[in-house]
Amino acid sequence: MSNAPIEPRDLDLPTLASIAGSGVARSVLERIAAAGHVGVRPSHGYVIQRLVEDEPTISALAESLGMTQQGASKQVRDLEGLGYVERVTTPDDQRARRVRLTAAGRDVLACGRRARAEMEAEVVARVGTQHLEAARATLVALLGVTGLEDRVRTRSVPDPDDA
């Protein structure tokens, strides 16, 4: 068995997308940590995305994540411990506790968005806008092939680690 070098251009698109996605996730987390937000994990991003426009109960959060209530509660506890989410009661139902982003959680979200925007600018500097748009169209098509296009639209992309 040889350890001959592999040219990235020789890899199939799904493999390239998978490897690039892992690299992007790692780089985004490194940039978030460099901004002072230590302890954020990829799985936290799936929870945070559900809190951008909603304050769900743990049950609703678990359902949207496709996991058990215990799993969702653990994610929320982790994020609470880091100071990125809080559980609050609502005036209409004092028994129901909803999960929402704190100011620090919104800052993590903003740091992640900045990191991705910086990375996109770095890619544009390497390949130009026309190639970026072609790559974007290709990756959207790959989302369609994998059945994730609608999940992206509804901010309900499943955590691959929970699949």
The domain of 62 spans: 12-162
pLDDT above 70 (res 143): yes
pLDDT above 90 (res 160): no
- The domain that contains 134 carries what CATH number? 1.10.10.10
* Cβ neighbours, 10 Å, residue 19: 12
Count of structural domains within the chain: 1
Assess if residue 17 is contained within a domain.
yes
Q: For 80-131, how does the pLDDT look when each residue is reduced to its tens digit (9 = 90+)?
A: 999 999 999 877 777 889 999 999 999 999 999 999 999 999 999 999 999 9
Assess if residue 116 is contained within a domain.
yes
Assess if residue 4 is contained within a domain.
no
- Mean pLDDT confidence for 138-151: 93
Assess if residue 66 is contained within a domain.
yes
Assess if residue 154 is contained within a domain.
yes
Assess if residue 59 is contained within a domain.
yes
pLDDT above 70 (res 31): yes
Assess if residue 7 is contained within a domain.
no
State the pLDDT confidence band at 156, using cuts at 50, 70 and 90. confident
